[in-house]
Amino acid sequence: MSDTARRDALLKRSKTLREKATAFNDRLKDMKAKDFVRTMVFHRLDDVDKFFLGDHKSRPSMEMWETMWLDTAETMLRIAEDAFAKFEGQVQRYGGPENVRLVG
């Protein structure tokens, strides 16, 4: 039996993070900071949404693999959430998204 409740909860978390990250990214002026958010957050969200939770053809067809598949989606989502929270906190400490500049 498919774990639709867990899949739906992961999709909801992903959607919530994507909305927060998009609003934050829209306020960023520095292109390197935008690139960082894209790499650390949006790429992982895309993997979660499109690959792990998206098209059913990209998922394993045997239900025995569903737990592993959803565990991996959860891990990717947690990494994106942690990266966003950490970067958002650092940006706020150093002047906010409108003023921060990444160097390097």
Residue-level pLDDT, tens digit, the chain, 104 residues: 477 899 899 999 999 999 999 999 999 999 999 999 999 999 999 999 998 888 777 666 777 788 888 999 999 999 999 999 999 999 999 999 999 999 87
Query: Is residue 102, in this structure, part of any structural domain at all?
Result: no
Query: Is residue 35, in this structure, part of any structural domain at all?
Result: yes
Query: Is residue 36, in this structure, part of any structural domain at all?
Result: yes
Query: Is residue 75, in this structure, part of any structural domain at all?
Result: yes
Query: Is residue 47, in this structure, part of any structural domain at all?
Result: yes
Burial letters 23-35, b for 16+ CB under 10 A, else e: ebbeebebeebbe
- Provide the domain count of the chain: 1
Query: Is residue 104, in this structure, part of any structural domain at all?
Result: no
CA distance 83 to 90: 11
CA distance 76 to 48: 7
Those residues whose C-beta lies under 8 Å from the C-beta of residue 43, and which sit 6 or more positions away, are none
CA distance 73 to 7: 9
CA distance 3 to 99: 44
Show the domain range for 23.
4-93
Query: Is residue 21, in this structure, part of any structural domain at all?
Result: yes
The answer to whether the CB of 21 falls within 8 A of the CB of 41 is: yes
Query: Is residue 101, in this structure, part of any structural domain at all?
Result: no
